[in-house]
Amino acid sequence: MAERTQQFTWRSTAEDVLKDIDLTGKTALITGTNSGIGIETARSLALHGAHVVMANRNIPASEKLRDEIIAEKPDAKVDILPIELSSLKSVKKAAEEYIAKGWPLHLLILNAGVAKPLVDSTEDDLEATYAVNHVAHFYLTQLLLPKLKQSAPSRVVIVSSELHSSTKIDVSLPVAEKIKILTPVAGTKEPGMFSFYAYSKLCNVLFAFALHRKAHQSGVNVYVVHPGVIKTGLVRGSGFLGKVFQFFGTPFFRSIEQGAATTVYCAADPELANVSGKYFENCWDDEKKLQKSLARDEALQDALWKHTEEFLRKFESSKM
């Protein structure tokens, strides 16, 4: 197998990455396409022939984006799947609806994320950032994993963040203590918004690497990405500090076209057909900024997997 070479940089856009790639016959399910890089991820994949299913809470905004895509490409195939990621009941309903449609699933892109949700806790008794960014996406993936395997070769792209390395978790702590920190329950107030976000982004990375070990042999490739710093609605509800961050950070923000590049690279580039279980930034996987001491800890990966599964089993049994 020929050695890969880096073709793109942080300046590359989703369109640069997808040039000459035809995704006709591929179906992509994407969460969080109503703002930020999710918009461009959905748009660019649809314009290159993929059947795009947008999983969102805000249906009018989704319909507006669908209509804009179709205006640009009249034969584009775009569907909308209602989902509220702060509700596991809604996640389950969305997965069941997707399966009932009979669609294949070649690309699952877990893009949605919040840094400070509008509520502190969810109806499932979890801290909301952890619930939306990790638990909901874990559950959606588990429910759709048989479809991913059936549609193989398939890919899962999980949007994390460089901030996964900012948890300040002592690597010498026992695994159980690390899990307690990473999985806050409803009512947890400290250490605060940005720490909760960092915890959830490390959960994304741990989940990605564990999923790779469990699903890659079944034809499912898994990638976890840092999209760069993009001016999005991610910090809605974060108040004064979030506004200050956006104001002073503006010169360093990427456009959404640049921010979506690494996601669509992992979703669509043919050179990655045999690559899985890697952390990508700037369309490349040298993992220089991956916090390997935590992220590559398989015991921690497995413990988070087990903890999340056990919570979901309790959720499902309570609904029977």
Catalytic residue among 197, 223, 265, 279: 197
Whole-angstrom distance between the N-terminal and C-terminal Cα of the chain? Answer: 50
Q: Within the chain, how many helices (H) and strands (E) appear?
A: 13, 7
Among candidates 285, 263, 282, 223, which has minimal Cα distance to 8?
282
Residues 6+ apart with CB under 8 A from 28: 45, 50, 51, 52, 53, 106, 107, 108, 109, 267
Among candidates 115, 205, 157, 117, which has minimal Cα distance to 31?
157
Torsion sign (Cα): 55, 56, 59, 65: negative
Cα–Cα dist 138/143, whole Å:
9
**What is residue 33's three-state secondary structure?**
coil
Is 197 annotated as catalytic? yes
Which residues are designated catalytic? 197
